[in-house]
């Protein structure tokens, strides 16, 4: 079976992990700060905080903003559930903005309409912008709206490490308060499990550092009370153990050296798909020239006006041919957990339409030319037979 994603692990990655195993510092040694520094250098942000997953990163980003019960968070429903769950962890109210049909990111028109008709006391405190598929769409316009309506921007850049807009790397936080990354094995680089938050805001940075380790500080300049003895430390907030360990960080440092190579290869594969599938009755994610996508996903959306089947059929046919494809994502608002909050079919027409007609094709660094050709040929065959 050709998978839809696969990490690339080379000898340098393996050696760097073994090296950490030979030191006494499996965690809280020098590798986590080193990885954080490398991420700030790569993205152009001032600060970075490594954590044990992007899910934790989203949770801490929301907490550092002070999100609490009664606040509103808006995001998209065409994402992994973690994008919305972060708000629920903080007891905030969640709501969703529809996606646009051009590139499957949030719809600017829908967001503006929704902001205009929402009462002042129900406006969002935070908008979580998911860079779907690796495309950091509409960062500048979103920043303008955040100033106008007074909400903060957390970028869920789980897909988009290595992507850029107007030569600004995702994570620079030029148009966002915080950006979060995932290093799960399907993402552009991996640490097995892991995540990162970047920010240019010192206040958020200081709070994130405490929150990832139980809310504890050992820095005596930050103490609220007098140091009582040499072993003294203070817990100042209710934090968590969301730390990344040094084994993961060393893998991340080693992987980050190849990020541009990874993104380049993904773009090459995407170009081949775009070229070789252009005659099929399908839509692609449109990417304007100011953007470089990291192409975490390569999505195709079936043109329902011209084709009799939906994506579920196509996914099954591909699997019969040993090509693994799936839908990203089953809409968040239609999961039982979110239906309990009152969301129903029909609430987000574009998102629901997308979810019936779309699928992600295999895209990863080690995808072989013959595998790529096979995928392209099988797709042509299925459309010819059944469309
Ligand atoms: C993968 C992913 C996450 C969660 O990442 P973890 O590191 O597995 O917690 C969150 N949001 C999006 C959009 C993702 O793709």
The pTM is what? 0.98
- What is the residue-averaged pLDDT of the chain? 97
Q: What is the DSSP letter of 125?
A: S
**115 pLDDT band (50/70/90 cuts)?**
very high
The number of the ligand 1 atom at minimal distance from the alpha carbon of 328 is: 15
Q: What is the DSSP letter of 282?
A: E
Please, are residues 359 and 315 in contact by the beta-carbon 8 Å criterion?
yes
E strand or H helix at 153: strand 152-156
What is the reported pLDDT for 387?
85
Q: Is 334 helix (H, G, I), strand (E, B) or coil?
A: helix
What is the whole-number distance in angstroms between the Cα of residue 250 and the centre of ligand 1?
20
The number of the ligand 1 atom at minimal distance from the alpha carbon of 195 is: 7
Please, are residues 293 and 163 in contact by the beta-carbon 8 Å criterion?
yes
What is the reported pLDDT for 320?
98
Q: Positive or negative, the Cα torsion across 298, 53, 6, 11?
A: positive
Q: Is the CB of 130 under 6 A from ligand 1?
A: yes
The number of the ligand 1 atom at minimal distance from the alpha carbon of 131 is: 13
**Lookup: tokens for 39:** 């991420």
Please, are residues 13 and 19 in contact by the beta-carbon 8 Å criterion?
no
Q: What is the DSSP letter of 120?
A: G
Nearest alpha-carbon partner for 311 in 343, 335, 281: 281
Q: Is the CB of 159 under 6 A from ligand 1?
A: yes
Residue nearest to atom 10 of ligand 1 (CA): 82
Task: Give CA–CA dist 243/281, Å, rounded.
Answer: 47
Q: Is 330 helix (H, G, I), strand (E, B) or coil?
A: coil
What is the whole-number distance in angstroms between the Cα of residue 82 and the centre of ligand 1?
6
Q: Is 129 helix (H, G, I), strand (E, B) or coil?
A: strand
pLDDT at 300 over 90: yes
Phi, psi of 147 (to 5 degrees): -70, -40
What is the whole-number distance in angstroms between the Cα of residue 316 and the centre of ligand 1?
25
Q: Is the CB of 53 under 6 A from ligand 1?
A: yes
pLDDT at 249 over 90: yes
E strand or H helix at 74: strand 72-76
Give the residue-averaged pLDDT of 169-175: 98
What is the reported pLDDT for 336?
98
Q: Which of 70-79, 219-228, 269-278, 317-326 is predicted with the least confidence, judged by mean pLDDT?
A: 219-228
**59 pLDDT band (50/70/90 cuts)?**
very high
Task: Give CA–CA dist 98/96, Å, rounded.
Answer: 7
Q: How far is CA 50 from the centre of its chain?
A: 15
Q: Is 300 helix (H, G, I), strand (E, B) or coil?
A: strand
Mutate to test the pocket of ligand 1, among 55, 78, 154, 331 (most ligand atoms within 8 A of CB): 55
> Radius of gyration of the chain from Cα atoms?
22
What is the whole-number distance in angstroms between the Cα of residue 369 and the centre of ligand 1?
28
What is the reported pLDDT for 227?
87
Nearest alpha-carbon partner for 323 in 282, 284, 381, 279: 381
The number of the ligand 1 atom at minimal distance from the alpha carbon of 159 is: 15
């Amino acid at each position: 079976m050709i998978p839809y994603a696969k990490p690339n692990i080379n000898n340098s990655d393996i050696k760097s992990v073994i090296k950490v195993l030979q030191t006494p510092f499996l965690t809280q040694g020098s590798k986590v700060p080193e990885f954080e520094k490398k991420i700030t250098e790569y993205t152009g942000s001032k600060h970075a905080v490594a954590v044990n997953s992007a899910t934790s990163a989203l949770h801490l980003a929301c907490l550092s903003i002070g999100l609490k019960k009664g606040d509103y968070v808006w995001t998209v429903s065409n994402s992994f559930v973690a994008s919305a769950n972060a708000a629920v962890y903080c007891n905030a109210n969640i709501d969703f903005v529809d996606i646009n049909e051009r590139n499957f990111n949030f719809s600017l028109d829908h967001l503006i309409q929704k902001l205009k008709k929402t009462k002042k006391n129900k406006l969002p405190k935070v908008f979580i912008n998911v860079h779907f598929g690796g495309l950091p769409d509409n960062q500048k316009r979103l920043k303008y709206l955040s100033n106008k309506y007074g909400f903060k921007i957390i970028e869920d850049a789980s897909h988009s490490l290595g992507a850029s807009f107007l030569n600004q790397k995702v994570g620079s936080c030029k148009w966002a308060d915080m950006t979060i990354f995932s290093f799960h094995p399907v993402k552009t680089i991996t640490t097995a499990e892991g995540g990162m938050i970047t920010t240019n805001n010192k206040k958020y940075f200081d709070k994130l550092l405490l929150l990832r380790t139980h809310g504890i500080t050992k820095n005596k300049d930050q103490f609220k009370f007098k140091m009582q003895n040499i072993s003294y430390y203070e817990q100042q907030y209710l934090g968590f153990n969301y730390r990344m360990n040094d084994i993961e960080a060393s893998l991340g440092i080693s992987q980050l050296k190849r990020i541009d190579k990874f993104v380049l290869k993904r773009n090459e594969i995407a170009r081949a798909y775009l070229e070789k599938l252009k005659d099929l009755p399908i839509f692609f994610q449109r990417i304007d020239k100011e953007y470089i996508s990291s192409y975490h996903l390569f999505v195709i959306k079936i043109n329902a006006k011209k084709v009799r089947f939906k994506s579920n059929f196509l996914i099954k046919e591909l699997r019969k041919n040993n090509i693994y494809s799936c839908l990203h994502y089953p809409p968040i608002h239609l999961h039982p957990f979110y239906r309990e909050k009152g969301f129903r079919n029909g609430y987000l027409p574009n998102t629901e339409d997308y979810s019936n007609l779309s699928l992600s094709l295999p895209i990863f660094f080690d995808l072989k030319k013959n595998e790529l050709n096979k995928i392209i040929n099988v797709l042509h065959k299925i459309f010819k037979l059944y469309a």
